[in-house]
Amino acid sequence: MHRRPEEETAHSRIDVPHVNRLRDYLLGGSYHFTADRRLVTDLESRIPHVQEMAWTSQGFFHRAVTFLFGQGVRQFVHLGFGVRGVELVGEVARRKGLPCRLVYVDSDPVDVARGQLMLAQNPHAVAIRADPWNVVEDVLARPEARDTFDFAEPVALLAMNSVHFIKDIRDAARIIERYRDRLADRSYLVLSHATADIRPADSAVIAELLDASGISVHFRPRPDVTSLFTGFDLVHPGLVTADEWRPEGPPTRHAERLAGAQLYVGVARKQ
């Protein structure tokens, strides 16, 4: 998945929306610009619960990371992290008072620079600028990753809200397989992926507005998303929507399932 020079440059532009900044704005952050806010306004005018969708995704992420700490995982590599990803994993670690080692990977130079500032006082964390989905470049071979991780110990691979930007599902599966093969046994994959299985009309609106802004998202059916976990064993409750993965409150009634329905999620252990 090679980027042309003009595509790489576009990642640092503020006059076009960027998926990391859209998410930051929806989650109440401060790292966003007019183009991002305008696109969110357009989304909310047609899908009023779009902010709730972002928080539901973030809630799954928080529960999944908390689960991994409970399984003894202390090493995390976060692909396509965005500023909110840095905040969340570090927040869970601080709240539990547990040491951990963190490698964040993103192709956006501004996100990486901000991540490096946030991690400046943490000798066990690093933000790397690289395309985490490049089929040639193996980010785990970078010196920064080798100096941070003990690859003989389990690592959690976090692929949140990023795989659905890869056009070919076969490319995505091969890339995840390459990461899997580099990780020790008892490592984990945490993955979320957009789907149109449950609320196709909402998904069509999201795809339409994102595509008009130069962002291509690929909503995929359950079998395709399941294929991304090849070589991993899904933990309970398996592949479900974001609102269904180990909710902290009572299950959401089907008629009210707005926020989590566009996202399949799963946590899986390397076989």
CATH class for the region spanning 5-247+254-270:
alpha beta
Q: What is the pLDDT of residue 111?
A: 83
C-alpha–C-alpha distance, residues 228 and 169, integer Å = 8
Per-residue model confidence as pLDDT tens digits over 85-132: 666 787 788 787 888 999 989 888 888 888 888 888 888 888 999 888
Which pLDDT value is given to residue 213? 95
Q: What is the reported pTM?
A: 0.90
Domain locations in the chain as residue ranges: 5-247+254-270
- The predicted structure's pLDDT at residue 11: 52
* pLDDT for 4: 34
pLDDT of amino acid 142: 86
Residue numbers of the chain with a pLDDT score lower than 70: 1-12, 83-87, 135-137, 249-259
